[in-house]
A and B are shown apart, each in its own frame.
Chain A
Amino acid sequence: MAYSFPEEVLEHVFSFIHSYKDRNAISLVCKSWYDIERWCRRRIFIGNCYAVTPRITIRRFPELRSVSLKGKPHFADYNLVPHKWGANLYPWVAAMAQAYPWLEELRLKRMVVTDDTLEMISHSFKNFKVLVLSSCEGFTTHGLAAIAANCRNLRELDLQETEVDDPSGNWLSHFPESCTSLVSLNFTRLEGEVSFSALERLVGRCTNLRTLRLNQAVPLDKLANLLCRAPQLVDLGTGIYSGEVRPELYSKLVSAFAGCKELKNLSGLWEVVPAYLPAIYPVCPGLTSLNLSYATIQSVDLIKLVSQCQNLQQLWVLDYIEDSGLDALAASCKDLRELRVFPSDPYGAEQNVSLTEQGLVSVSEGCPKLHSVLYFCRQMSNAALFTIARNRPNMTRFRLCILEPHTPDYLTLQPLDVGFGAIVEHCKNLRRLSLSGLLTDRVFEYIGTHAKKLRMLSVAFAGDSDLGLHHVLSGCKSLRKLEIRDCPFGDKALLANASKLETMRSLWMSSCSVSFGACKLLGQKMQRLNVEVIDESGPPDSSPDDCPVERLYAYRSVAGPRFDRPTFVWTVDENSAMRLS
């Protein structure tokens, strides 16, 4: 009988394996590998904070240093999840404060974080280094002040897309003068003024600062000051990029940007005044990422800017760029990998800019590495989709949002089924897809047949019957997240594919035709599935069992039913009693 290597050797070997997938695979080889692996795992990613409890996590992985947690479902971004639904960070931090005194990193998305929780973090983890709060809520600058004051080795404080109230206006001053460790500071959505002197001093003494993303309270002249103190920046988010046009400010900006030889990412750019744009030109050739999605400047200025960014890999922009701008992009930026075009007037009934499907077709043709697209537009055709699919079989993320629901192919007035069908057929590595426009069950047939690597599918105002949902659930082998709103999908497809749901992270269905009876059945039959009915109008069993529920959120879980359900969330467990809060 051959013995394997001593534990220490295996542990050393495992320490080179970082991907979660590989780590999980290692732990399945045999019991001893499972045991060794769990003791040396340092990083964990939990895609749904309710899939597992803090206690279970700590029991299995006693030595974590980095925890990533995601809370609310994606549609919470669009106000479809009621306030106070859950995803509170506190219980996690309370448990980890005991178990992981050496925790270094917390990366959170769509979680509710309170000031008290932030304070607890700042006191519990002596070597805390990285705090990333993406699309979170629930705290003010009081909590941030605690983090600033107490985390002596803080390297990253990243509040991307998290809105923060600022009652006091002074949190930056809480970074002690001895703090020089910051590498990344992002407070773009922080409301309120910022103490410029405190910020300038902080930036000046943190010589390793690589990322600095400011909020809108920072004007142009202060920006220039900051850039002069931090010419080593790699990632910059400006504040307001406007003001009276003054020659001395302009030249100050020009020399400030000229000093930034390492700049690769540029964002912010709120309220851009075109006259100040040329100050950016010197850094353009070095840029790989440019976010102009708040810049309400017109196509001419956008073209001038973008044409100088030959090394651009990622562009976010408003539809002011128009088809002509996208043609210029396709001609200049041959390394482009990701494009996002946002609507400048999403609720307007008429087109306000000359942006059509042609722009996307141009970019798909001119940019061979393009693989990630988010495109808002008003018209689309099957022909264009087919062209895009053939041009870019390397597409991995394709999110198309035709602003008006049920919009057909504008050339033929037919549904867009075959166009999207072409996308899934040709783009064999497609991982994420969002549909829009007029769509029947046929498109789901195509998706179920071809989209074998698809992990996330977003559907709205589409389909005719349960058959559509059935195609997706039975065909998409790699599906992890499915979110559906306003589609005529109901009980049959759901119940026929109940076991599929345990292989996925989550399913969201709102304004569909799923009955409360079916939800109950699903909850009773599937042990490892939490079925939540979210209904603010009252107890679902006060209506007949066949009444459709407002919202259904079903997710796999080993944690059992959660204990922090608000009054409007109804769940069912195997005792077939409806559990109320």
Chain B
Amino acid sequence: MEGVLGLPGTGSAAGGGGGGGGVPSGSSGNGSMSTVSKAEVVEQDYVGMLSEVSSYPAESELELGLGLSLGGAGKATNKPSAWGEYGRILTAKDFPSIVSRGSSASSSSSPGTGRPHPSVITPVSGTKRTADSVAQEVGSGNGSSSQVVGWPPIRAYRMNSLVSQLKAPSSEEEERMIPENNRSKDALAKGTNNGNTKSKSNVQEKGRLPSSLFVKVNMDGVPIGRKVDLNAHNCYETLAQALEEMFHKPTTTVNTARGEKEHGVVVEAEKPSKLLDGSSEFVLTYEDKEGDWMLVGDVPWGMFLNTVKRLRIMRTSEANGLAPRFQERDARQRNKPI
């Protein structure tokens, strides 16, 4: 077993290492073992290779911890996810190779919790299962738990940049310029995915949004804007509530006794209550894709998500004439929740 997996420095002397430093090419003619290009080695070959582990404390000192069981003890119900209606439920037929291997798994260390591995076979439900069974999502103000906060670890501006490019109308023009022939060839050659590779246009057609959709929110009178994740809500009510909390709760602390003040922004505006029905001093507005400012609440929620670019909590006095029939709607809304 050693011989198969010698370190580059030692193994290359025999094989294609040749004269000195150069990188041996991938196609190793005479069995050079110094670099391996394809994943040919089977797991058993190297399982025993790792050095003996130094002794760790007797398990009586560290009894196997309580630990959250991340596999099965999660929430029972699956909350409907934002893109449930768009996702396709894959079946075992889509993954023939994986199913056949699954039954002959080698006997190396098995996962402690004994959780099943259906996530490979049905990734759509697997995503939901993982999100639900993962430990309590941190209370960062998001209402929904069908997403995992902060996962995958990608900065929000990166996500928003991708989303806005995929949603932009001009990208449709671009796609005609993009050759797509490299896709299907690669899919056949690799055979690793289910041949269902999607190009950008597919994502656009299905209108699938990412799990997080952070947009900027500014409030009149407050210099620094905040961000809110629209996908954490599925109706205007919860969004308005979240915004009210965000811009009203004072969170800074001042300890004057020590003379070291925290220098932060304290919101001094009057309590903006009932942003949606026009009974407060502020109204909630948004800028849409065309750059127009509209009153929030007129269009169906899904349509709103597709067109909103950012939000602004505007003084009612400035919002007159914002959208046609503002006054009429104002009166109507007092009686009818959205």
Contacts and interface: CB of A to CB of B under 8 A. Distances in A.
Interface of A: 75, 77-80, 82-84, 88, 90-91, 112, 114-117, 137-140, 142, 161, 163, 165, 167, 189, 191, 242, 270-271, 273-275, 293-294, 296-301, 322-324, 334, 342-354, 356-358, 361-362, 365-366, 368, 376, 379, 381-384, 386-387, 390-391, 393, 401, 403-415, 417-418, 421-422, 425-426, 434, 438, 440-442, 445-446, 448-450, 458, 460-461, 463-467, 470-471, 474-475, 485-486, 488-490, 492-493, 496, 510-513, 535-537, 548, 550-551, 563-568, 581
Contacts of B208: 347-348
A69 B165 CA distance: 34
Contacts of B101: 411-413
B155 interface: yes
Most buried by B among A78, A165, A323, A490: A78
A138 B225 CA distance: 8
Interface string B111-123: 1110101011001
B203 A352 contact: yes
Given A386-B46, A563-B260, A511 B192 contact: no
B323 interface: no
Given A351-B197, A354-B186, A566-B252, A511 B50 contact: no
A566 B89 CA distance: 45
A79 B153 contact: no
Given A271-B165, A414-B106, A511 B134 contact: yes
Contacts of A165: 216, 218, 223-225
Given A365-B26, A387-B39, A408-B120, 11 more contacts: A78-B154, A293-B158, A344-B162, A358-B190, A366-B23, A387-B41, A391-B8, A441-B112, A536-B141, A548-B135, A565-B253
A433 to B, nearest CB: 14
Given A365-B35, A390-B35, A564-B262, A550 B253 contact: no
B251 A566 contact: yes
Minimum-distance CB pairs A-B, first 6? A488-B67, A464-B112, A78-B150, A90-B263, A383-B39, A466-B65
B140 A414 contact: no
Given A411-B101, A563-B255, A566-B252, A361 B182 contact: no
17 contacts: A90-B263, A324-B182, A366-B23, A386-B41, A387-B41, A391-B8, A405-B151, A410-B120, A412-B105, A418-B109, A464-B113, A466-B62, A467-B56, A536-B139, A548-B135, A563-B260, A564-B255
Given A446-B50, A449-B51, A406 B149 contact: no
A361 B165 CA distance: 30
Contacts of B5: 386, 390
Nearest to B113: A464
B120 A492 contact: no
Contact of A510 (B138, B156, B190): B138
Given A79-B150, A165-B225, A418-B46, A88 B57 contact: no
Contacts of A449: 51, 53-54
A488 B56 contact: no
Contacts of B123: 349-350, 404
A263 to B, nearest CB: 23
Contacts of A412: 43, 101, 105-106
Given A88-B263, A293-B158, A490-B66, A80 B138 contact: yes
Given A391-B8, A465-B64, A470-B57, A79 B149 contact: yes
Contacts of A492: 62-63, 65
A421 B49 CA distance: 10
B171 interface: yes
Nearest to A216: B161
B99 to A, nearest CB: 10
B41 A393 contact: no
Contact of B130 (A191, A368, A404, A458): A404
B107 to A, nearest CB: 9
B108 interface: yes
B225 A513 contact: no
Chain B: interface size category: 35 or more
B211 A347 contact: yes
Contacts of A334: 23
A354 B193 contact: yes
Contacts of B130: 404-406, 461
Contacts of A405: 130, 134, 148, 151
Contacts of A465: 62, 64-65, 67, 112
Interface in B205-241: 208, 210-211, 216, 218, 223-226
B87 interface: yes
B79 to A, nearest CB: 15
B265 interface: yes
B275 to A, nearest CB: 19
B178 A298 contact: yes
Nearest to A424: B50
B334 interface: no
Nearest to B250: A567
Interface in B1-53: 5, 7-8, 23, 26, 35-43, 46-47, 49-51, 53
B252 to A, nearest CB: 7
Contacts of A511: 134-138
B70 interface: yes
A422 B7 contact: no
A355 to B, nearest CB: 9
B127 interface: yes
Nearest to B59: A467
A137 B223 CA distance: 12
Nearest to A510: B138
A293 to B, nearest CB: 7
Contacts of B324: none
Nearest to B225: A165
A392 to B, nearest CB: 9
Given A91-B263, A114-B265, A401-B152, A270 B225 contact: no
A384 B36 CA distance: 9
B331 interface: no
B321 interface: no
Contacts of B127: 349, 404
A565 B260 CA distance: 12
B37 A567 contact: no
A408 B177 CA distance: 38
Contacts of A513: 65-68
Given A352-B203, A383-B40, A407-B119, A324 B186 contact: yes
A208 to B, nearest CB: 30
B118 to A, nearest CB: 11
B90 interface: yes
B190 A376 contact: no
A161 B46 CA distance: 42
A242 B170 contact: yes
B93 interface: no
A539 B163 CA distance: 38
A84 B252 contact: yes
B178 A274 contact: yes
Contacts of A296: 162, 165-166, 171, 200
B159 A349 contact: no
B92 interface: no
Nearest to B161: A294
A382 B262 contact: no
Contacts of A346: 152, 154, 159, 210
B278 to A, nearest CB: 26
A362 B5 CA distance: 18
B152 A343 contact: yes
B325 interface: no
A52 to B, nearest CB: 14
Contacts of A486: 70, 134-135, 148
Contacts of B88: 350
A83 B251 CA distance: 9
A406 B113 CA distance: 12
B194 interface: yes
